[in-house]
């Protein structure tokens, strides 16, 4: 099963994805794309996410090389939960990846996800429902996030939109 879970900030998408994985798999890996930084508020968010998952998860932190971490660990797991693609995109942008390089990485991820024997659940923010960002960087981010979500939706068998904690099946 390849599944994309999208939603706005604090929509419940991560909780939904974690619960769905926990109910359907025993050998599960959480792939975190957010790197702990010198940010107390973000450190608290990371701690809350770890606590909400509970025991039984192997956590791998990988800010950039999602394809590598999936390929390297595929034989050992039933399911990967990647949270989140939007932070992965942010990490690439912060490393000055060009749009073309980001699109190549997204294409590589789509191909890898489709070819894995393990199941994959990908979490991403839906950022296109808000106002048009004021800055060119904000618009670039919004556009790349929307494009990434579209590509991943094609690669996945199921797509679920979560709003107000409620899942809405968009595909599959």
- 46 and 34 in contact (C-beta within 8 Å)? yes
Three-class secondary structure of residue 25 per DSSP: coil
What residues pair up with 59 in beta bridges, in sequence order?
Answer: 30
Calpha distance 11→16 (Å, rounded): 9
d(CA 137, CA 141): 6
Cβ–Cβ under 8 Å, residues 29 and 60: yes
Residue 89 near residue 141 (C-beta atoms within 8 A): yes
User: 3-state DSSP call for residue 98?
Assistant: coil
Residues taking part in catalysis = 49
Q: How far apart are CA 15 and CA 8, in angstroms?
A: 13
Classify residue 18 as exposed, middle or buried by CB count within 10 Å of its CB (0-12, 13-18, 19+). Answer: buried
């Amino acid at each position: 099963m390849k599944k994309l879970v999208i939603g706005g900030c604090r929509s419940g998408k991560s909780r939904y994805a974690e619960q769905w994985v926990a109910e359907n798999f025993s050998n599960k890996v959480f792939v975190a794309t957010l790197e702990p930084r010198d940010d107390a508020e973000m450190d608290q968010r990371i701690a809350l996410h770890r606590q909400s998952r509970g025991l039984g998860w192997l956590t791998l932190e990988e800010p950039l090389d999602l394809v590598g971490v999936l390929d390297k660990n595929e034989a050992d797991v039933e399911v990967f939960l990647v949270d989140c693609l939007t932070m992965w995109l942010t990490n690439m942008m912060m490393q000055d990846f060009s749009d073309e390089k980001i699109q190549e990485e997204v294409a590589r991820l789509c191909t890898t996800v489709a070819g894995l024997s393990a199941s994959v659940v990908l979490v991403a923010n839906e950022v296109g429902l808000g106002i048009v960002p004021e800055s060119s960087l904000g618009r670039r981010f919004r556009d790349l996030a929307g494009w990434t979500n579209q590509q991943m939706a094609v690669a996945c068998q199921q797509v679920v939109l979560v709003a107000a904690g409620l899942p809405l099946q968009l595909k599959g």
